[in-house]
Structure 1
Amino acid sequence: MPGFVLLVRHRGDGDDVSGIGYTVSKKVGNAVTRNRMKRRFRELARAALPVAGIAGADHVLIGRPGANEMDFAELGEHLDSALTRAAKKLAR
């Protein structure tokens, strides 16, 4: 995805709660930029993970440069698409 990378790993511990983590490196920008991106990721995950998240898996969103300039709705669509692809890969 252009604004982020999504990593998903099934824990295999029998717990159906999905975990979430956020990573934004200094390459993306200064502290203000990184914190804004993490706030946007938190809000996206709050909306998308209960619906499309993979139960019993840890999800990690890694920010890419330019994600703050993207429209919030567009980021949400990208996250939904990435979660769908991840679910298909884990189902194999």
Structure 2
Amino acid sequence: MEPPAEQAGRNDQRATRPYGVLRKRPEFLAVRRGTKVRGAFVLVEARERRDDAPPRLGLTVSRKNGNAVKRNRIKRRLREAVRLHCAGDMADGNDYVIVSTPKVLRVPFDALCADVSSAFAQANTKLQRRREGAKEDRNSHDG
């Protein structure tokens, strides 16, 4: 039996998504121990995984953001912003979590996309500096 057309399209989209998805609490907690970048409308947390697998993304939208309808709408806006503008900003081998604020619903979509993209870029820069600092520390101890 064939799945309905709308479900088939949804599965195709998941297969072509350029990033994985964080689903389990320990994965989210591990990313929290990484670097954080606050944008105007979101907080982006990032952590290096030490592999070359595609990046993974998680969304955190707490009840402070409103009822279930508002929270789901926030998640849809954030996913679409990442899909359209930010998927290329995520580096392989990293995990990212976007923590939302209630402002995400009121801000124009272009401003949201720019904010998320900027936060990803800053997080990648911080992770790169951290990685280079760790290499220098290892090289200085090898002496």
TM-score with structure 1 length normalisation?
0.91
Identity %: 37
Query: Mind listing any 5+ residue stretches in structure 2 that lack a counterpart?
Result: 1-38, 130-143
Structure 2 counterpart of 1:64: 101
- Higher relative contact order (CA closer than 8 Å, sequence separation 6+): 1
| Partner deviation per Cα, 1:27-52 (whole Å, 9 max, x = no partner) | 11011100000001111111212x21
Structure-to-structure mapping, 1:25-44, within 5 angstroms: 25-44=62-81
Structure-to-structure mapping, 1:1-92, within 5 angstroms: 1-12=39-50, 14-47=51-84, 48-49=86-87, 51-92=88-129
Query: Contact 1:23 / 1:61 at 8 angstroms: preserved in 2?
Result: yes
Q: Which has the higher helix share?
A: 2
SS in 1 for 2:65: coil
The structure having more radius of gyration, on CA atoms, is 2
Query: Contact 1:2 / 1:67 at 8 angstroms: preserved in 2?
Result: no
Looking at structure 2, the residues matched to 71 and 6 of structure 1 have their Cα atoms a distance apart, in angstroms, of: 19
Looking at structure 2, the residues matched to 91 and 30 of structure 1 have their Cα atoms a distance apart, in angstroms, of: 37
| Number of aligned residue pairs | 90
> What residue identity is the alignment partner of 1:9?
R
Looking at structure 2, the residues matched to 21 and 60 of structure 1 have their Cα atoms a distance apart, in angstroms, of: 5
Cα root mean square deviation, aligned: 1.0
In the TM superposition, residue 3 of structure 1 has moved relative to its aligned partner by 1.5
In the TM superposition, residue 15 of structure 1 has moved relative to its aligned partner by 3.0
TM-score with structure 2 length normalisation?
0.60
In the TM superposition, residue 67 of structure 1 has moved relative to its aligned partner by 1.0
> What residue identity is the alignment partner of 1:78?
D
Query: Mind listing any 5+ residue stretches in structure 1 that lack a counterpart?
Result: none
| Partner deviation per Cα, 1:28-82 (whole Å, 9 max, x = no partner) | 1011100000001111111212x21121111111111221000010011111111
